[in-house]
A and B are shown apart, each in its own frame.
Chain A
Amino acid sequence: MSETHSVLAHQFDDLEQQFEASTLGMWAFLITEVLFFGGLFTGYAVYRSQYPLAFAEGSLHLDYRIGAINTAVLICSSLTMALAVRSAQLGRRRSLIGFLLLTMLLGSVFLGIKVFEYSHKYHEHLIPGINFVPPHEFIRFHVDPQQLYVFLSFYFAMTGMHALHMIIGVSVLAVLVVLAWRGRFSSEYYNPVEVAGLYWHFVDIVWIFLFPLLYLISRS
């Protein structure tokens, strides 16, 4: 009983109400995130309709195999995150910590592959604003380099924002590992794990859209 009181904030009637409130609060935040990324996707749609060939050519400059591997890595991390939340629900502290660490590891693998990709783009002089030299030869479509520049700007803005969310996600999970280690969660109270899970899966969903829209244009 005393433990229940320590995790129940005084403004809530019971733990159920507190759980519902934290879930709703997280969803309210995620809606703003949906619209934030929605703005980027809308900009992408407008420019892709204006410069279809440049987007097709730009997409061919990306390695779809790396993108596909990263998609699989993120889906794996979503599975381990879902299992972490499940462990928390069942009050299994050890497996909660294990799955959280596994999720962090997979998130770090994703970011590591992203760093590799970005550095590759740097050596190819294809980073707008930092290191961009109009390519001498094109893979399939001969397009205005400035239009290619627009595609690459979208690529780096969208994947960069996504990567920033991943970094934040991994940091949040690190805090959760410490809290779980100290035994702060139980099957009665695991709201932070639940809402961190919502955030992690949301970031996964963003990538689910980014992958085909950036890597898989006109592969045929």
Chain B
Amino acid sequence: MAHHVVPQKIYLLVFATLILLTLVTVDVAFYDLGLLNLYVALAIAVTKATIVILYFMHVKYSSRLVWVFVGSGFFWLAILLALTLSDFFTRGWSPLPSGWTSMIMP
């Protein structure tokens, strides 16, 4: 059985990157970037998660079938987030029909 044994150096490099990104995410939180703060924090978190999945979880060295499994998981997560949030975030867009309230509270 020939499994890919990842060199120790790569694991240490991944570790250093993750620690560095943690320091960056803490530091950047202290700058007032408005809404960007959230997106920068999320971008860093997604980067860290991707590194962990590719190297620590060996997905980079895994079969195509594993890639499909992992991809489908995050695809479903995207559906969960996109459909739910597109509902909640757009509720304020349409004004309440005034006819309704006038019927209930004349």
> Which of A16, A24, A83 sits near B11, CB closer than 8 Å?
A83
* B48 nearest in chain A by CB position: A208
Interface flag for A34 (CB, 8 Å): yes
* A78 nearest in chain B by CB position: B56
A39 pairs with B56, CB closer than 8 A: no
Residues of A within 8 A of B5 (CB): 86, 89-90
Residues of A within 8 A of B88 (CB): 46, 49
A72 pairs with B19, CB closer than 8 A: yes
Residues of B within 8 A of A79 (CB): 11-12, 14-15, 56
B37 pairs with A23, CB closer than 8 A: no
Chain A binding surface SS class: helix
> Which of A68, A89, A208 sits near B3, CB closer than 8 Å?
A89
A24 pairs with B76, CB closer than 8 A: no
Interface flag for A109 (CB, 8 Å): no
Distance in angstroms between the alpha carbons of A93 and B14 in the assembled complex: 24
> With A24-B65, A38-B77, A49-B89 as given contacts, are A204 and B29 in contact (CB-CB < 8 Å)?
no
B37 pairs with A28, CB closer than 8 A: no
Chain B 21-36 against A: per-residue CB contact (8 Å), 1 yes, 0 no?
Answer: 0100110011111000
CB distance from B64 to the nearest CB of A (A): 11
> Which of B3, B41, B53, B76 sits near A19, CB closer than 8 Å?
B3
> With A34-B77, A42-B84 as given contacts, are A27 and B3 in contact (CB-CB < 8 Å)?
no
The winner among B11, B25, B37, B56 for most chain A CB atoms within 10 A is B56
> Which of B8, B52, B81, B89 sits near A208, CB closer than 8 Å?
B52
Distance in angstroms between the alpha carbons of A79 and B29 in the assembled complex: 25
Listed by A's residue number, 6 A-B pairs whose Cβ atoms lie within 8 Å are A27-B70, A187-B1, A205-B49, A205-B52, A208-B45, A220-B31
